[in-house]
Structure 1
Amino acid sequence: MNKVVLILVACMVFSCGSKKEAARKKDPRKTNTERVVIQEKSEDKPVIREPQEHTTTTETNMPISSTEDYIATFSAIAQEEMRLYGIPASITLAQGILESNSGKGRLSVEANNHFGIKCHDWTGDRIHHDDDASQECFRKYIDAKYSYRDHSLFLTTRSRYSKLFDLKKNDYKGWAKELKAAGYATDRKYPDKLISLIERYDLDKFDEAVVGYKYEETVASNRTGNTTYTVVKGDTLYSISKKYNMTVKELQDMNGLRDNALSIGQELLIKPL
C-alpha cells in the first residue's frame, strides 16, 4: 500500500514539473510573437509612390469658359514655346483661340488638339472629325500642352514655313501674313483674324516679355520700291492721309480703293515722307 502511495505522489510531482517546463518553453514563443508585432508597427511608414508618367488631370485640361480663361491657361506654355522655337507667343495663342474656339471646340475638348493638326504620319491616338472632308483623321493628345509642342514642331520642321523665321520674333503682323502665304490656312482673312485677336486681347505683351522689348512697326519699301504702310487697329483713311500729308482721294486712287473700308494688316501704298 505504501508503495502505491509513493508511486502516485511521484507521478503527481513529475506531472507538475512537466507543466512548469512546458510553461517555461511557451514563454520564449510568447516573447517572439510580441516582438514580431512591434516590428510590424515600426515598419508601418507611408509609402512614397513614383508619379505616373502620363496623367489626364492637369490644369490645361480644366474646362475653359471664356477667351480670357484660355489666355490665362495657355499664355505661359506659348511663351515657353517661343523661347524654345522662336514662334511669337501672340501668334500661337491667337491661332489656338481661333482654331479651338477658345478651347471649346470638339477637337480641343475631346482630343486636346488646339490647332487642328491632322494625322499624317501620326502613330498615336486619333479622332475623326468633319473638316475639309467627312470624318478626317486628327491627332489626339493626352494633354493640351503636347498640342502646343506639336504646333511648334509642325512649323519648324517643314521647309515651306522657313521664311517665318527670317522675321523678328515679335513681328506678329509679319508672321500672320507669312502663315497665310505659306499655305497654313486657305481663309484669305486668316491674317486679319489673327491680328485682330492679338490686338483685341493685347497678346503681343507676351512676346515683349520674352524678347524684352516691344516691336515698333516702321514704314517700309516693297519690292517695287514703293513705300507701304500696314493698317493697324484704329486707322482710317483720313488719319493715314493726314499722317503722310495726302488727301483721302489720293490714298484711294493710289491703292485702287472704291470706299473707305480698311482691314487690320492691309498694306497701303503711300507717298514717301
Structure 2
Amino acid sequence: MHSFQNKVIVITGAASGIGRALAQAFHQRGAHLALSDINMQGLEETRSLLSGQGQVTLDVLNVADRAAFSAYAKKVVDDHGQVDVVINNAGVALSETISNMSYDDMEWIVNINFWGVVQGTKEFLPHLLQRPEAAIVNVSSIFGIIALPTQGAYNATKFAVRGFTECLRQELKNSSVFVTTVHPGGIKTNIVRNGRMKTSMTGDKSLDEQAKDFEKMARTTPAQAAETIIRGLERRQRRILIGGDARLMDRLQRLMPVRYSDVFGWVLKKLG
C-alpha cells in the first residue's frame, strides 16, 4: 500500500501511545480515521493533535466486548462508507508469576490482548475483502517472540496474536488483504503504569519503580514506532520489528532458540 490518501484507517487503543502516534501519522498522509479506546478524554486529546483534513470519528470501545465490537464495525462502515486498514493495537500489561497469577487477571489480559485482536480481525474482515487493496495490522510484541519470567500471561497473549496473524496471512495470500504482525520492543508509552504489575522481573519493586525502569529501557518513541509500522505497510513487510532492542532479541532467539533465556537471566540479575 503506497498511498493512504482518502483511505479509512481503523485504530484501536488510539487514546495514547502508538495508537495516537499512528493516528497523527496517517492523518498527515490524508487518511480518514476511525479511532477507538475505552478513554474518550484521551481520544479527544488525540483528535486535538491531528493536522490533516480527513474525517475523524471517535468511539468508546471495550475491545474485549464482542457485541460492542460487532456494533462498532457496523458503525464505522456507516460513518465512513468503507474500511481499508484495520490496526488492532489496543493492549494491556500484566506482570506476575504463573503460580501466583489469578484466573481473573489471566482472563482480563486474554480478553483484551488476544480476543480484542480476534474480534477486530473478524468483524472488519468481510468489509476489507470488498476493497481492491486493504490491510490488517495486528500488534503483538517482542514478547510474542521471546518469553521472560513474570510475563507468562502477556507472553501467552502476544504469542497467540503472532500465531493467529501468521495463519491469517497464509489464508489470505491470494486475496486483496495484506496481513502483517508488529513486534514492538520497548516503546515510551504508559503500558506499565496502566497495567497490573504485581511482580517485577527484576525483584520486589513498586509500580512506580517498575514504570521508571521501563522508561529507562524504552528507547523508541511512539512516533518512531508509527513511522516504522507505516514504512512496513508500504514495503509489505510481513513481520515488523520496532526498535533496536526488538531486532537484537529476535536475532538472539534465532541463534539460541532455547538458551536465550540464560542470557536474559544474566541481564535481569544485573538489573535487579
Whether TM exceeds 0.5 here: the answer is: no
TM-score scaled by structure 1?
0.27
Max radius of gyration: which structure? 1
- TM-score, normalization by structure 2: 0.27
Which structure would you say has the larger RCO, counting Cα contacts within 8 Å and 6 or more residues apart?
A: 2
Specify which structure has the higher proportion of strand. Answer: 2
